[in-house]
Amino acid sequence: MSDKLVTKVAEKPILFSGAMVRAILESKKTQTRRVAKEFNPRLQYRLRQSDGEIEVLDAGNMWGIMARRTVCPYGKPGDRLWVRESIQKRGWDTRGNWDTCFIRYLATDECLSVPTPDPVWVEHRMQSKVPSIYMPRWASRLTLGIVSVEVERLQEISEEDAKAEGVQPVTGDGCAHYGAFRELWDSINAKRGFGWDKNPWVWVVEFKRYAEGL
């Protein structure tokens, strides 16, 4: 037996829309921003950030210093995220003795032969489209490695970072990606109370796509 200490890499699921899945596959998306509900949007914080762990030095309120630590719920650098996306069963691959099925990935309309550890689940739950939130780990075709994690105000995003979000520019000017990201953000989050105008705190997760099989 090897004497080396084996460190298990943490994995967590993350949801992406079809457009964002395509952007990842095309190497156009390397960042994602998610609402940081751990931080009160009405307060200004002074933070110390390190490897996905955020230390709150000052919450900018009447109680003054608030020494506490907050860990990003999506993980820390070195952890992995497996992508959940909408799928649909296209039939059984009988060459695999009924333990492999053809899955259609709706974002790209690609059909792949995927081994399944749970044929009963496939037979009962995949008769029609499976929303991304219900996608099982074994069906995921995309794994992302977290490179860095930060927390910031939503409106602090730069044009360069907006481009890294994988959005399609809405105009040809110098802030085309910035404007496109703002529109995308509001289409997803405004109805949840975290619109662009609210300028919520957000987790900024930078990632890289792992090659197939990793």
pLDDT for residue 213: 41
State the Cα–Cα distance between residues 10 and 128, nearest whole angstrom.
31
State the Cα–Cα distance between residues 9 and 81, nearest whole angstrom.
10
pLDDT in tens, 17-71: 999 999 999 999 999 999 999 888 888 888 888 777 788 877 765 455 556 788 8
For 62, residues 6+ apart whose C-beta sits below 8 A from its C-beta are none
Q: Are 88 and 126 in contact (CB under 8 A)?
A: yes
- Give the pair of three-digit tokens for residue 62: 């009447």
Q: Are 16 and 158 in contact (CB under 8 A)?
A: no
Q: Are 206 and 144 in contact (CB under 8 A)?
A: no
Instruction: Write out the H or E segment, with its range, that includes residue 67.
Output: strand 65-71
For 51, residues 6+ apart whose C-beta sits below 8 A from its C-beta are 76, 77, 149
Q: How confident is the model at residue 172 (pLDDT cuts 50, 70, 90)?
A: low
pLDDT in tens, 148-162: 999 999 999 999 999
State the Cα–Cα distance between residues 205 and 149, nearest whole angstrom.
5
State the Cα–Cα distance between residues 178 and 14, nearest whole angstrom.
23
Q: How confident is the model at residue 120 (pLDDT cuts 50, 70, 90)?
A: confident
β-strands 80-84, 11-15 pairing: parallel
State the Cα–Cα distance between residues 206 and 127, nearest whole angstrom.
35
